[in-house]
Structure 1
Amino acid sequence: MEHFPVINMDKLDGEERNATMEMINDACENWGFFELVNHGISHELMDTVERLTKEHYKKCMEQRFKEMVASKGLEAVQSEIDDLDWESTFFLRHLPVSNVSEVPDLEEDHRKALKEFAVGLEKLAEQLLDLLCENLGLEKGYLKKAFYGSKGPTFGTKVSNYPPCPKPELIKGLRAHTDAGGIILLFQDDQVSGLQLLKDGEWIGVPPMRHSIVINLGDQLEVITNGKYKSVMHRVIAQSDGNRMSIASFYNPGSDAVIYPAPALIEKEEEKKHVYPKFVFEDYMKLYAGVKFQAKEPRFEAMKAMENAATSLGQIATA
């Protein structure tokens, strides 16, 4: 089996820079996922975030989750459940305006750690976007600008716990999907595995590694790169023992950002084909909300149809 790509960011500063950039490019083209070590976020901060997040789940969410399981009779299911995920979650928003201070039940030191962690992740996301620009031959800052919209990017975090599941063969921790947004930065449990991605028709585990950040690409980067880089189906397998923590942060375009393939990339193609649609990010998200766990291709086709309809209306209006 091919090795899951692990990128040591320290090597970007030395003579191994070119080889490391090539590894990032290969991961983006062929995996849609890679794992970062030496990414600049302190291990001490990560340990604090993990400890406080696990304590918060035990204190504030575990009982609620057990009550939900009991109310739906999930311990006794006999056939596969395809409309529910075995996860306990809460959400944080960082950009354009943070709501971390308003999220109920969080201890003050947990809030502080999550805010500090988000600042580090935002910086890392922007650094990665520039590395992708370099690999793609786009001017520095192109992707950040493409995400900007009128108020800057949107950036938020989904904090999840995947408790022990009595029937992991019948209930997924999280059903298979691609992520709608831009670039995703995941701090996952290094003790309990479960995250898998689909590669060449096979489900491959994303290895839990202490203090690493897992990166995956969302649908918007597939559109902007005109398919050179692709978002990839992934899922979480529930486990019969162990509670898996997952802190996934989504660095996405602003809601009014207009997303379309980078002209410089289309110029490079021999056929100069503009394969992917042009749309407003918010419109894509409205569609995605109802079809998240379905294939992405029909979403792109629906956006393309909207684009064509808008274009033809424009032509009628100017005729």
Structure 2
Amino acid sequence: MDSSQLLPQSHGSVQELAKELKLDVPQQYIQEHREPTVVRNHSSPFPSIPVIDMNDFNNIRESDKDPLINLRSVCQEWGIFQLVNHGVDKLLIKKMKEEVVNFFNMPVEEKVRYKLLAGDYQGYGQTILHKQDQKIDWADRFYMITNPVHRRKSNLLPEFPPVLRDTMEKYLLELQKLAMYLFGLTGQAVEIDKQEMIDAFDDGMQSVRMTYYPPCPQPDRVIGLTPHSDAAGITILLQVNEVEGLEVKKDGVWIPVSFLPDAFVVNIGDILEIMSNGIYNSIEHRATVNATKERISLAMFFNPKLEADVGPAKTMTTNTGDPPLYKTLIMEQYLKDFFSRKLDGKTFLERMKIRYGEAGTET
């Protein structure tokens, strides 16, 4: 696939297209069968996603299992939560937000220095097309691998404007520490040995996505980010500006997320669902857009090492005696299979599931 297939011929970005639109959105962005968002009413308000307070885990006693029980329940029932008192410096977060806004405010001629190249999925651009009739998300995004360092593209982060590059490097380090702490807690909550989590995730594959959702004159007819679950262990999302749009699918209904000040939104990805042997929920989510306001977000994805096994955690299945519900793959093969999109109409988690016959043997 060449780069002309990745973006509309006449526009380098949806951001630029949106500046020229008066009413009608081009057909390639129109989603005719978009599922509606639940409507709030006073008699039956929709639920809010749970909140996890990191202070609950400070100096936790061996006998006090309540915070871990609550975390397990949240990850099982919801697969997503807002994280407060997370310890990441507020001034660094503020600076990171400013620099992401500055990136998208650069002239398009500067941003295309980082554009998606033919056959690649890292860089700046729109939805990567896998088939001719695929709809395009109403968003511009910049995606890149940040760890391991030797896998970084030399034309991306190293070539960022100095302030953005330095701020991003500091932010990556802080969130790496936070992610490892969360992996330890989520593993402990389902009795996965701490060393098994460290062996899988320490210095693992990490990536970042900055996303810009322009205003749209027909917001109910487009989608900012197509419904999906994340091919990750966990995702840590920072809401860059005050415009919301993230929605999660709970009990068959799309529920909007209202962000708390200074909170991160953390969601469970496919890999942690697999490692927990199906206890945790890799939640389906999407992004909608606003009629008059832009929305900007910054997501970080944390995965195992590329050479690590991805499968039900051995210490957990040994402890419980439960049979593994998912296959085991090397992380690098897992990513190749996921991004190939050759799933025969199934989700990747469905393809990874092991089927057992009546005699308990794998089919």
Q: TM-score under structure 1 normalisation? A: 0.81
Describe the superposition over 1:250-271 as per-residue Cα deviations: whole angstroms up to 9, x where unpaired. 111222221121233223446x
1:141 counterpart SS class: helix
Letter in 2 for 1:9: M
- Structure 2 stretches lacking a partner, 5+ long: 1-45, 113-132, 356-361
1:232 has 2:279 as partner: no
1:252 maps to 2:303: yes
Question: Do the aligned partners of 1:181 and 1:218 also contact (CA within 8 Å) in 2?
Answer: yes
Gap regions ≥5 residues in structure 1: 66-80, 306-311, 313-319
What SS does the aligned partner of 2:293 have?
Answer: coil
Q: Deviations over 1:142-163 (max 9, x none)?
A: 2231346xxx411111111111
Matching of residue 84 in structure 1 with residue 129 in structure 2: no
Alignment counterpart, residue 91 of structure 2, candidates 44, 69, 73: 44
Q: Which stretches of structure 1, 4 residues or more, deviate above 4 A after TM superposition?
A: 14-18, 61-65
Question: For the structure 1 residues 226 and 101, does the alpha-carbon distance in structure 2 shift closer, same or farther, using more than 3 Å as the test?
Answer: same
Give 1:190 deviation, angstroms.
4.8
Show the counterpart of 1:300: 352
1:275 — aligned with what?
325
Residue identity in the other structure for 2:86: H
> Which residue number in structure 2 is paired with residue 77 of structure 1?
none
More helix by share: 1
2:106 is matched with which residue?
A: 59
Q: The residue matched to 1:186 in structure 2 has which SS?
A: strand
Q: 1:189 aligns with which of 240, 243, 248?
A: 240
Contact 1:101 1:111 in 2 (8 A): no
8 Å contact from structure 1 (residues 82, 171) kept in 2? no
Matching residue of 2:313: 262
Aligned pair count reads 286
Q: What is the deviation of 1:10? A: 1.9
Paired residues of 2:48 and 2:258 also in contact (CA < 8 A): no
Distance 1:53 1:34, change over 3 A: same
**Residue 5 in structure 1 maps to residue 55 in structure 2:** no
Structure 1 position 285 matched with structure 2 position 335 = yes
1:210-245 CA distances to partner (integer Å, 9 max, x unpaired)? 221111111111111110112111101122122111
Distance in 1 (alpha carbons) for counterparts of 2:107 and 2:294: 15
CA contact (8 A) 1:100 1:115 kept: no
Kindly state the Cα deviation for residue 100 of structure 1 after the two structures are TM-superposed: 8.1
Any residues of structure 2 matched to 1:149-188 within 5 Å, and which?
152-188=203-239
Normalised by the length of structure 2, the TM-score is 0.71
Q: Which amino acid aligns with 2:106?
A: K
Structure 2: which amino acid aligns with 1:41?
Answer: V
SS in 1 for 2:208: strand
Cross-structure match for 1:31:
78
Aligned equivalent of 1:218: 269
Mapped pair 1:111 → 2:165:
yes
Question: CA 1:62–1:38 in structure 2 vs 1: closer, same or farther (change >3 Å)?
Answer: farther
Contact 2:48 2:257 in 1 (8 A): no
**Maintained 8 Å contact 1:178/1:234:** yes
* Aligned mates of 1:30, 1:138 — CA distance in 2: 19
- Note the C-alpha offset of 1:21: 2.7
1:18 Cα deviation from its structure 2 partner: 4.2
Give 1:63 shift. Answer: 9.5
Q: Name the aligned partner's letter for residue 129 of structure 1.
A: F
Rounded Cα–Cα distance in structure 2 between residues aligned with 1:177 and 1:114: 26
